[in-house]
Amino acid sequence: MDPSFFRCKQVLIVEDCAPVRATIKGMLQTIGFEAIHLARNSTEALKKCTEIPFDFILCDFNLGDCKDGYQLFEALKQQDLLSHLCCFMIISAENQRKIVHGMIELQPDDYLLKPFTYPVLEERIIRAIKSKIALRKVYLSLSNHDYSEAISECDKALKAKPDFATTTLRLKGELLLKTKAYAKAEQFYKQLKNNKSYSWARLGYALACFHQERWDDTELELADLTQFDDTKIEALDWLSRLYVKHHRYELACETLSEAALLSPKNIIRQHTLCNLTSITGNKEAAARIHGKLVAAARYSIHDTADNYLNHARALVDHACTCNVMERAVHLQNANQLVTAFNKRFNEAALQQEVQVLRSRILAAKMMLLEAKELLGSISGLKKKAITIDSCLDAAKAYFEIGDLYESEFYIDKLNDYLAKDDFLTETQRIMLKMEQTRHEELKAKIKLINQEASEAYQQSLYGRATELFCEVFDCMPTNPVIALNMLQAMSKSNGLTPESMRFAKHAINLIEQSELSITNLERYKKYFKQLTAKHPELCRTAQDHCVSS
């Protein structure tokens, strides 16, 4: 290629080592570049990319303590700072599988292993730009999100530019899948997949079969594709999703874990894995992976407040499955995460979400009345646009204090949020279904026990009625109406056991803090008088509450 072609092209070198920057700059000058820009780190690179539309970017993978090359490439793509003809090349001294697999996923235009020579750099640059120029109309259609036009341009390029047929065919197949033309995609890939160098065509064929619910064909193809480096991670991803379709959650979790180990910087996959471990009931692993996710997301476009909140939420979920001592430790760690949260993020913007999480910590400590009071003080959350994870957390918070009506509001809200057709959303739908199942089971249980308690009361079996109302109250410990019904049965019984005495004290505390109708207030006074006549120690419960208030 004529060196004059590169004279007016804008090129950026992103490299934290000054001697290496100088060496690469010298090579580029030899190739013919004159407009050469330098950046020591991702911060400088991002700033320059907002000012200049670069034609070439050569970026080192390791860039010191801030964003690495992977994260910079992600940020540039998200912020739409790469033109459709820009060639982005990653340079690295490391040939680690994790780095290579991560780069395959992100699909830069090339990956150069240090040390490299001037002829190698020149060859790679010329190859990359020739491909971009030959398929410029395809890339232009892609940048305009005109996928039908992009497919049409692919067909034209296949006839006019046969030297770039492999890239063109790959683009066309991906576009057929993106436009949900699955039957066409299947036929398209079927014609290509016998070419042994086209492992990507076999992957495309498997995905076309997946979307048409041809599960056996999909599983066989994907399992075989896990043997090849260029398709291994995607094949593992889709295998995991296939296993989820068949409710084989443990196997799905193991499969996705393998993909996450190979490419740990894919935060969406890590989040999906967290959900899968939670679905399988391994709350400890979910909390551990959430902690790793927080560290991995630092400096990336996925470094959000929700990561930290999710880590704390996972610790609360795990705490609820532990013994008293372990529970206290996990809840303390969750509390520390919430407290430190404000150091990096604006807590005021997420005040309601933080309060919901704090209420869950209180509920896990069995401080149910305090949890209810904190949730009652939250305003504006129902009308606020919140994340899926925050919505699920609110549903859990109200469920844990026994307020099924408020919990169901957020479950209904979640149904509206979960519209995407991706793996992460699929796991979130499963978690929602599990939450709905918990609700239905609890409502059915409460209805059954409450009916049996009422029948026992009508038959003057007050001791049995008291036992049953205590069981209902244990399910909904912040419901004053159930508390009142329980006290009514207790007032008629011969006496309270130590266990029912504990329930009575909790019910009195709850009712003393609740707003009752005039009728229910009169009922409470009547039953309280009858109970305290038999059990004077209950007077101190009400008095203690009055003093604390």
In this structure, is the dihedral angle defined by the CA atoms of residues 147, 153, 155 and 157, taken in order, positive or negative? Answer: negative
Tokens of 424: 């992460």
Least confident among 31-40, 103-112, 122-131:
103-112
Model confidence pLDDT, tens digit, residues 256-305: 999 999 888 899 999 999 999 999 999 999 999 999 999 999 889 999 99
Model confidence pLDDT, tens digit, residues 38-90: 999 999 999 999 999 999 999 998 887 778 888 999 999 999 999 888 999 99
- How big is the chain by its Cα radius of gyration, in Å? 31
- DSSP letter (8 states) at residue 164: G
- DSSP letter (8 states) at residue 92: E
Superfamily, domain 1-134 = Response regulator (3.40.50.2300)
Q: For residue 84, give the 3-state DSSP assignment.
A: coil
Model confidence pLDDT, tens digit, residues 235-260: 999 999 999 999 999 999 999 999 99
Query: Look-up: residue for tokens 């409460």?
Result: 446
Let me know: does 113 contact 82? Beta carbons within 8 Å: no
Query: Look-up: residue for tokens 């993106």?
Result: 178
pLDDT of residue 548: 41
Cα separation, 217 vs 207, whole angstroms: 10
Instruction: Look at residue 321 and tell me whether its pLDDT is greater than 70.
Output: yes
Question: What average pLDDT does this structure show over 313-337?
Answer: 94
In this structure, is the dihedral angle defined by the CA atoms of residues 38, 42, 44 and 48, taken in order, positive or negative? Answer: positive
**How is the chain split into domains, by residue range?**
1-134, 454-548
Cα separation, 149 vs 389, whole angstroms: 37
Model confidence pLDDT, tens digit, residues 122-169: 999 999 999 999 999 999 999 899 999 999 999 999 999 999 999 999
- 525 burial (CB, 10 Å; 0-12 / 13-18 / 19+) is exposed
∠ at Cα 113 (108, 117), nearest 5°? 115
Q: For residue 298, give the 3-state DSSP assignment.
A: coil
User: 3-state secondary structure string, 332-382?
Assistant: HHHHHHHHHHHHCCCHHHHHHHHHHHHHHHHHHCCCHHHHHHHHHCCCCCC
The percent of the chain in helix, strand and coil, each rounded to the nearest 5, is 70, 5, 25
Cα separation, 361 vs 315, whole angstroms: 10
Residue 549 pLDDT class (50, 70, 90 cuts): very low
Q: 10 Å Cβ neighbour count for 418?
A: 14
Give percent of the chain above pLDDT 70. Answer: 96
Let me know: does 98 contact 258? Beta carbons within 8 Å: no
